[in-house]
């Protein structure tokens, strides 16, 4: 490792480095120059004169940039400048396995690809790149790599790991706003809502008022049932994203998609469809918008177009939620055999790898419950996750699967936890109605089901009709 080029690399600012929709620069953040230069000198001496005795050897560049996981340069996404940057960084870590800055930047770009495509391989690559950087230079002098690792852990549903590393980032520099973003995100997913809101308040005190701040506050508003506030904040985030130079396509598309989700949740299907199509204009083949477009077309009664979009979504990303939607649409069309094929694929995808098992655990449990399959297995999956991840949707999944497993009293207790924030979500209300119906509380059940259908009459391709039949009975 040559000292002069390495120092030049260290002093290079973050110009052109990717920023995610949370406003976090996903590469090495600025260090205190003299401390960093000192650390670099130690690094150089340790890796040359001392043979690297003071640290273990980091993962090889071939591990991080494996041939079967390289960016597909023939894909539409590869046509943008980030694809060339990724290839350049992959070559840099091959030439110089001690380039901790390149590893950190590479992790940030892999996370960007994950957000754009949903492809889990980029999550694995981002995690390995971040750990490689931290193996070369520890977190105390390498906050950028620690930030990438925390974001990777969050994306992998390791919310306790993301929380702990966010707290470590805060201890390294409490004046920065981005660690509070990561901390608040993790706490929301763990169901610690009060502390999450405290983290977001600290974020704002530290100067966090951009796209990331607005989307976090919108999420809190939505959970608390303040739907109009949430919508206004997402609109603010979109305006900010459109004003950025250069614009981040995925960030703009994500904000438009979020506005579509807000409209769909309130039964405003025309606006929802318009928002999803706008997102696809900004970012063609954006998998989130394609899947949601299929759902809203089904809600509007256009089953043929909905099926086409669901098939498109599955081709883009075989996510269990897309497969379940496509199977349901086939079922509604009388295509039972094709529906069964999609349903069978859900289990295969969920068990394809260890990371898939973690990511799709809750989706699989709810799929089983929705389709009256494997009630004991569904309950076990949801209950096990809820022991660690005690958010309201975890309580809802545990309640819904408990009902299907015949544990009505437990389902009643759990659904109360799911509704405790006042969240305006038709599926939560539907589950509450069905649970109370099973418990014999017919008037309470009637009120829940009526509220669900008034809020969002076609909240689910199959379950909405079940709700209507139960309400009529």
Residue 373 has a pLDDT of: 97
Q: How many CB atoms lie within 10 A of CB 446?
A: 16
Name the region of 374 (left: φ>0; alpha: ψ -120 to 50; beta: rest).
Answer: left
Q: How many CB atoms lie within 10 A of CB 440?
A: 9
The full set of domain ranges for the chain reads 1-156, 374-473
Residue 80 has a pLDDT of: 67
The pLDDT profile of the chain, 473 residues, written as one tens digit per residue, is 333 343 334 334 343 455 566 556 544 434 333 334 334 333 333 333 333 222 233 334 444 444 334 444 334 444 567 899 999 999 999 999 999 999 999 999 999 999 999 999 999 999 999 999 999 999 999 999 999 999 999 999 999 999 999 999 999 999 999 999 999 999 999 999 999 999 999 999 999 889 999 999 999 999 999 999 999 999 999 999 999 999 999 999 999 999 999 999 999 999 999 999 999 999 999 999 999 999 999 999 999 999 999 999 999 999 999 999 999 999 999 999 999 999 999 999 988 878 888 899 999 999 999 999 999 999 999 999 999 999 999 999 999 999 999 999 999 999 999 999 999 999 999 999 999 999 999 999 999 999 999 999 999 999 999 999 999 98
CA-based nearest residue to 464, from 288, 300, 263: 300
Residue 32 has a pLDDT of: 37
Here the tokens at position 111 are 């996370």
Q: How many CB atoms lie within 10 A of CB 201?
A: 13
Which of 267-291 are b and which e, b meaning 16 or more Cβ less than 10 Å from the residue's Cβ? bbbeebbbbbebbbebbebbbbbbb
Residue 356 has a pLDDT of: 83
Q: How many CB atoms lie within 10 A of CB 422?
A: 9
Residue 353 has a pLDDT of: 74
Residue 13 has a pLDDT of: 38
Q: Let me know: does 40 contact 194? Beta carbons within 8 Å.
A: no
Rounded Cα–Cα distance for residues 134 and 39 (Å): 13
Residue 19 has a pLDDT of: 57
Residue 15 has a pLDDT of: 39
Fold that domain 374-473 belongs to in CATH: 1.25.40
Residue 23 has a pLDDT of: 59
Interhelix angle 100-117/3-11, nearest 10 degrees: 40
């Amino acid at each position: 490792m040559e000292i002069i080029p390495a120092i030049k690399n260290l002093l290079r600012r973050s110009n052109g480095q990717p920023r995610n929709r949370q406003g976090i620069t996903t590469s090495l953040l600025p260090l205190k120059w003299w401390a960093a230069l000192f650390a670099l000198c130690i690094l150089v001496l340790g890796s040359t004169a001392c043979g690297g005795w003071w640290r273990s050897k980091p993962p090889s560049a071939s591990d991080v940039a494996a041939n079967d996981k390289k960016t597909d340069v023939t894909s539409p996404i590869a046509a943008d400048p980030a694809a060339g940057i990724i290839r350049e960084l992959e070559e840099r870590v091959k030439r110089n396995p001690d380039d901790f800055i390149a590893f950190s930047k590479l992790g940030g770009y892999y996370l960007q690809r994950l957000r754009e495509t949903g492809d889990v391989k980029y999550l694995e690559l981002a995690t390995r790149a971040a750990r490689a950087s931290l193996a070369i230079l520890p977190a105390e002098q390498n906050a950028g790599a620690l930030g990438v690792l925390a974001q990777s852990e969050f994306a992998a549903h390791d919310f306790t790991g993301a929380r702990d590393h966010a707290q470590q980032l805060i201890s390294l520099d409490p004046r920065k706003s981005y660690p509070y973003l990561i901390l608040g995100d993790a706490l929301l997913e763990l169901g610690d809502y009060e502390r999450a809101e405290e983290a977001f308040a600290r974020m704002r005190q530290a100067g966090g008022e951009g796209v990331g701040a607005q989307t976090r506050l919108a999420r809190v508003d939505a959970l608390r049932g303040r739907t109009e506030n949430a919508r206004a904040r997402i609109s603010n985030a979109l305006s900010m994203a459109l004003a950025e130079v250069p614009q981040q396509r995925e960030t703009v598309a994500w904000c438009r998609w979020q506005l579509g989700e807000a409209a769909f949740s309130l039964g405003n299907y025309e606006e929802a469809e318009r928002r999803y199509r706008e997102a696809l204009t900004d970012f063609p083949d954006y998998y989130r918008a394609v899947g949601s477009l299929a759902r809203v077309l089904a809600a509007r009664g256009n089953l043929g177009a909905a099926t086409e979009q669901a098939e498109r979504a599955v081709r883009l990303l075989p996510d269990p939620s897309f497969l379940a939607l496509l199977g349901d649409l086939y079922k509604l069309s009388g295509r039972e055999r094709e529906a069964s094929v999609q349903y069978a694929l859900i289990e295969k995808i969920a068990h394809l790898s260890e990371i898939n098992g973690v990511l799709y655990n809750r989706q699989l449990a709810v799929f089983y419950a929705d389709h009256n399959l494997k009630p004991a297995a569904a309950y076990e999956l949801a209950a096990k996750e809820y022991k660690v991840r005690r958010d309201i949707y975890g309580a809802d999944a545990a309640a819904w699967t408990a009902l299907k497993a015949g544990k009505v009293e437990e389902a009643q207790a759990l659904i109360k936890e799911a509704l405790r924030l006042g969240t305006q979500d038709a599926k939560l209300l539907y589950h509450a109605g069905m649970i109370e119906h099973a418990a014999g509380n017919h008037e309470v059940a009637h009120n829940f089901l009526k509220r669900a259908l008034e809020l969002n009459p076609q909240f689910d391709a199959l379950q909405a009709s079940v709700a209507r039949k139960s309400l009529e009975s």
